[in-house]
Amino acid sequence: MEYLTLLLFVVICYGLGFTILKLVKFETDVLEKLIISFGVGLGTLPILGIILSFLHVPLYWWVFLILSLLVPMFLLIIFFKNKWLKSEQGVEINLKTYFSNYFSTYFSNYLSEGLKISKSTLYTLIVLVMFLAILYVMNKGAFVSPWLEDGDSWGHMGYAKYIEIEKTIYNPEGIIVSHYAAPYPPGYDLIMGVFFQVSDSPYWTMKFFNILFISLATIFIYFFVKEFTGDKNIALFSSLILTIIPSFLSHFIWSHTLGIILFFPALYCIKKLDIDKTWLLPSIIVISSILVTVPVTAFYFGAFLGLYWLGKVISIRKLNLNIIFAGIGGLLLSLIFWVHMFIIYGLEGVFKHLRLFKDGVISFKKIITLQGTGAVGGEANYKLLDFIWVNTYNMINNPKGIGLMLSFIVVIGIIYLIYQLVKEHKHFFKEENSWVIISLIWFIFALFSVLGQYFPVRMPYPFRAWSYLAIPVAIIGALGYFKLVELSKKIQIPHLLIFIVVFSGLLLTSGYQKYTVNTVVWNNENFYSFDEVQPYLWMKDNLPKNTKVLSYCGDWLDVLAYDKLQEGWKPEINKFYNNVVNMTTQEIVLFMKTYEYNYLIIDAQCLKKYNATFANERLQEAIATSMFEPAYDSQIGVILKKI
């Protein structure tokens, strides 16, 4: 079922993207069309789910499937009717004969040229190989730990599970399911919740979809940079750098992952506005989804988009109103969510939930200088060594560092840009150089954001800005590499030798460190040892999905994380936890019967919350009543089945 879930995800994303891009002028090769359609479709899911929930349409997976297939199926029917089933004389064609002729014609171009592959196709295939490589690394690291990552992931699991069961993004009256529930933007959890419905293991789905999002950046940046620069070589090397650079995301589970990878489909659509105004629609849709996925990413995307516009203005001295319209349109569309949240929770309630409200005041300074900007809630004063020297240990939520070799080629790229600005300043500012100017502006802004602790005004969360810095670093680093190659030709050093040295340097000073950090076991705040998690692993492997399990002392999120169900968003469950110490075994059994819970888990959380004596007494009481029988028994935890 896990792979069926993945297939459904691909079909829905592609179908939505295909539907939207049928409205634009899009002439490119088949592979690029497929991938960009998928990317735009992924960027449509969050805002589409919010609109459906706003209209009180339950968020069933099949609703998204139907919407994604309406246009493709309609066009397919028309195609069959007008093209496939009738010849020029109006005689029906045998479908078997048609497909045989169709595919033989399709491959004849390759066969007639001796199976030659175009450079564009070859580069795309290389990018797909890099995608599979980073997916393998992230997959290895994500599943080496028998738990979700520390902190954020548990909150995301709680809200996503709520969406799976209740089919809405809106909280029950008087309760906010988790910190990541509305009024926090729900885009990430909405996607997870929809696909939890068809997965046998939400545990697997949350981990795998998260690493899939991360890995897609390798593909998406290639097509964006190719469109942005008009240079396939720079695009390919940018993709390589983003794949290797330590500071661009880890497999940490949080909404930041989805928000930042949507940068690339959004910016791709924005760049296409230079050719065709109809790209305004997909631009607006993907931008709106970024704005309803994570607040910090929304801020940084707004900054990147504004600086993109500024770079274009500097380059061609035109206002480029379509870029402004795209940004405003995305903002207005996202207000379907935000205005509704302000109506439900009020201005103070929303800003309190987003942690932008303090001492009864919402101030501009508070929003710009968000507190807790360090790696774990403290401040971080980054130094030169933090950029050029990367260790095999790092922050897990957003690693820092670039690496020695990558820093070297980035410096070469920056020196080249400054040289060109000084030497050819009268002729430098033109359309074909706009990408260079924009990349340099992005780099300055992102570097300023990372080094925010040194300035009186700083951008939100400097440690998170490492991921945004990685984007211009990838582009400028690729430029620096090819300028190094040009220089090597002048002094007669073979291109292959330069590539081997640089590529090896990138692997040794950036790639190895990224691999190490992302493949070791990460600790978490819910379990202190492998022994403590064993009852939950048994439960995950031996009980059906969504079996109702009541945790006596633990967090209800622990149960959800291992594919079982405890409805912690319901008032009666909260009331149970507040009174459980004073309840008799008979009262607990009655509660379980009333709310259809079949299993009770007493584990190490009881030792932490109370003490060993209390845990043992309650366990013996439960067994002595003959109302329970042990389903799993160990020194560290017991799972009891209600008889």
What pLDDT digit, counting tens, does each position of 425-434 carry? 777 888 888 9
Q: Is 545 left (phi over 0), alpha (psi -120 to 50) or beta?
A: beta
61-79 and 45-54 helices, crossing angle to 10°: 110
pLDDT band of residue 362 (cuts 50, 70, 90) is low
pLDDT in tens, 527-553: 778 888 999 999 999 999 999 999 888
Indicate if the pLDDT at residue 377 is higher than 50: no
- Closest by CA to 311, choosing from 110, 472, 536, is 472
User: How large is the average pLDDT for residues 493-521?
Assistant: 95
* Among 205-219, 333-347, 353-367, the least confident range: 353-367
* Among 126-130, 146-150, 516-520, 605-609, the least confident range: 605-609
Cα(322)–Cα(301) distance, integer angstroms? 17
- CB proximity list for 374: less than 8 A, separation 6 or greater: 380, 462, 463
pLDDT at residue number 97: 57
Supply angle C-alpha 403, 409, 414, rounded to 5.
115
Tokens 């936890």 -> residue: 577
- Quote the mean pLDDT of the chain: 88
Indicate if the pLDDT at residue 373 is higher than 50: no
Half-sphere exposure of 438 (CA within 13 A, CB side): 26
- What six digits make up the tokens of 411? 């410096």
In angstroms, how far apart are the furthest CA atoms of the chain? 89
Q: What is the pTM of this model?
A: 0.91
Greater model confidence, 569 or 79: 569
Indicate if the pLDDT at residue 451 is higher than 50: yes
Amino acid (one-letter) located at 486: E
pLDDT at residue number 583: 83
User: How large is the average pLDDT for residues 476-501?
Assistant: 94
Distance of CA 126 to the CA centre of its chain: 22
- Classify each residue of 489-505 as buried b or exposed e, where b means 16 or more C-beta atoms within 10 Å of its C-beta: eeeeeeeeebeeebbeb
User: What percent of the chain shows pLDDT beyond 90?
Assistant: 63
Other Cβ atoms less than 10 A from the Cβ of 18: the count is 20
pLDDT at residue number 116: 66
pLDDT band of residue 522 (cuts 50, 70, 90) is confident
pLDDT at residue number 188: 97
pLDDT in tens, 624-643: 778 888 899 888 888 989 88
* Among 155-159, 447-451, 468-472, 577-581, the least confident range: 577-581
Other Cβ atoms less than 10 A from the Cβ of 128: the count is 15
pLDDT at residue number 371: 40
Domain boundaries, the chain: 2-72+118-366, 411-519, 530-642
Indicate if the pLDDT at residue 525 is higher than 90: no
pLDDT band of residue 486 (cuts 50, 70, 90) is very high
- Say if residue 428 is exposed, middle or buried (CB neighbours under 10 Å; 0-12, 13-18, 19+): middle
Greater model confidence, 437 or 1: 437
pLDDT in tens, 256-298: 999 999 999 999 999 999 999 999 999 999 999 999 999 999 9
pLDDT in tens, 42-67: 999 999 999 999 999 999 999 999 99
Cα(401)–Cα(406) distance, integer angstroms? 10
Is residue 232 a contact partner of residue 238, using CB atoms and an 8 Å limit?
no
- What six digits make up the tokens of 430? 């033109």
Amino acid (one-letter) located at 153: S
DSSP annotation string for 55-99: TT----HHHHHHHHHHHHHHHHHHHIIIIIS--TTSPPPPHHHHH
Per DSSP, the three-state class of 246 is coil
User: How large is the average pLDDT for residues 327-352?
Assistant: 95
Indicate if the pLDDT at residue 487 is higher than 70: yes
Alpha carbon separation from 385 to 33, 245, 344, 506, 609 (Å, rounded): 42, 15, 47, 16, 43
Distance of CA 423 to the CA centre of its chain: 41
pLDDT in tens, 89-115: 555 555 555 555 544 544 454 444 445
Tokens 């990018």 -> residue: 127
pLDDT at residue number 572: 87
Cα(144)–Cα(520) distance, integer angstroms? 7
Q: To which H or E segment does residue 489 belong?
A: helix 465-490
* Beta pairing, strands 628-633 & 637-642: antiparallel
